[in-house]
Amino acid sequence: MPPTTTVRDYIRTIVDFPHEGILFRDVTTLFADARGFRMAIDQMLHPYAGMQIDKVVGLEARGFILGGAIAHQLSVGFVPVRKKGKLPGTVISEDYTLEYGEAVVEIHDDAIQPGEKILLVDDLLATGGTAAAGIRLIERLGGEIVSCAFIIDLPDLGGRKVLEGLGMDVHALCAFEGA
């Protein structure tokens, strides 16, 4: 790989995945490169230097990779938001619409205490459906969302506007035009 200077340079595009007409922005190439992965985590952390964050919430599935690394760097706990039926114990659920259909996500009902400051993370912001569902779950448990952080924003799909419409602060390391 030639010298790389931005996180975006590590992300590959796969045409027609998972459906025809989709340009899939694949972050596994970023995760596989030690320098690129460190760059992404460091840049995702940067806006929150000095802020109180009690927990990082990662959205299934690539948000787990990012969220775990960010929580480790911040020395705070990590909470997964998972697809329906994947968490043991008592959960609360949230239905939502995503780019390719409908889904349900869940969180343990005791994962966040009222008033805790939460950083929500995922790899990609598209329509905002998954993130908005995660936000609703966190708020139902009394968590206060400090910000939402992503590697990629797909501005043409409107997710940033959806989250900002919910009063969220949104950060993304790069953007790709198109779907």
Indicate which residue of 8, 60, 99, 139 is catalytic: 99
Candidates 97, 155, 89; CA nearest to 131 is: 97
Residue whose entry in the numeric block shows the structure tokens 């009063």: 167
Active site residue 99: yes
DSSP 8-20: GGG-EEEET-SST
Indicate which residue of 12, 25, 60, 62 is catalytic: 62
- CA distances in angstroms from 97 to 62, 86, 150, listed in the order given: 18, 19, 19
Active site (catalytic) residues: 62, 99
